[in-house]
Amino acid sequence: MTLLDFARGPALQAALVIFIIGALWRFIGALLLPWRLVPAQPREGSPGTVSAWLKGMAVKMWPHEPFAKHGAFQFINGYIFHVGLAIVVFLFVPHILFIQGLTGLSWPGLPNSFVTVIGVVTAASLVAALLHRLRSPVLQLISRVDDYISWLLTFLPVLTGLLATAHLGARYETMLALHILSICVFLIWFPFGKLMHAFLFAFSRGMTGVRLGQRGAEL
């Protein structure tokens, strides 16, 4: 069995099994919790649940005015690599074929050369995010090992994917195998670390908005 066979076969299968179990465990476990932990009645004039949910989501999309100047880079850079990752993961034709093979779902992709450029921008943006984290005293204080592991496991698939495309570092099939293996590690870590925010962010932000709204806080 070659490294690529191992990566495409048993490694990917084990990683997907762990990912699905872990993600559903956390996701369903969180969603089935009581939605109203505070038995108190909402304040008079407080926004409705849906409205507060959407406001809670929207307000986190950009830093509050006092922090706008200092937070702008983090937000803009965050958007760059998140949108970049979304394009690379979901609009690169070989990735769409992979998802189609698993789920049967398919959609049009973008030209490979364009996705390659987006991949380079995404990788640069991720490096910038790491440097910013390492240089910011505030981020240093709130950073945990999870943050660095999550960064590394996000960066490695992008890096190995670009190297495979550019035929750098190793033969294509070896780099493709390393790319798939890096995704396997990413999938295994995903449900148990901060990467799970990809599934939970909408709920955590929405629920924060609802709770603050019920207490009469301005959103």
Partner 1 sequence: MVTPQTLGEILEGRGVSRRAFLKYSSYLSALMALPPSMAPAMAQGLAAARRQSVIWLSFQECTGCTESITRSMSPTLESLIFDTISLDYHHTLQAASGEAAEHAREKAMADNKGKYVVVVDGSVPLKDGGLYSTIAGVSNLKMLQDTCKDALAVISVGTCAAFGGIPKANPNPTGAVGIDEIIKDKPVINIPGCPPIPEAMTGSVAYLVAFGKIPELDHLKRPKAFFGDSIHDRCYRRPYYERGEFAEGFDDDGARKGYCLYKVGCKGPVTYNACATLKWNGGVSFPIQSGHGCLGCSEPDFWDQGGFYRPLSTSMPGMGMALAGAAAVGAALGVGAALTARKHQQAYIREQAAKGDEK
- Which positions lie near partner 1, rule CB under 8 A? 1-2, 4-5, 8-9, 12-13, 16-18, 20-34, 37, 93-95, 97-98, 100-102, 109-114, 167, 172-173, 176
Terminal-residue alpha carbon distance, the chain? 57
Q: Which is nearer to partner 1, 18 or 121 (CB)?
A: 18
Q: Which residues, 6 or more positions from 141, have their beta carbon under 8 angstroms from its beta carbon? A: none
CA 180 to chain CA mean position, Å: 17
Q: Which is nearer to partner 1, 75 or 199 (CB)?
A: 199
CB of 62 to partner 1, least distance (A): 33
Q: Which is nearer to partner 1, 112 or 140 (CB)?
A: 112
Given a contact cutoff of 8 angstroms between Cβ atoms, the answer to whether 10 and 179 are in contact is no
Q: Which is nearer to partner 1, 13 or 140 (CB)?
A: 13
Q: Which residue has the tokens 């990735």?
A: 95
CB of 156 to partner 1, least distance (A): 18
CB of 73 to partner 1, least distance (A): 33
User: What are the DSSP calls for 134-176, one per residue?
Assistant: HH-HHHHHH--HHHHHHHHHHHHHHHHHHHHHHT-SS-HHHHH
CB of 49 to partner 1, least distance (A): 20
CB of 71 to partner 1, least distance (A): 34
Taking the C-alpha atoms of residue 176 and residue 11, their distance in angstroms, rounded to an integer, is 13
Taking the C-alpha atoms of residue 57 and residue 213, their distance in angstroms, rounded to an integer, is 12
Q: Which is nearer to partner 1, 37 or 145 (CB)?
A: 37
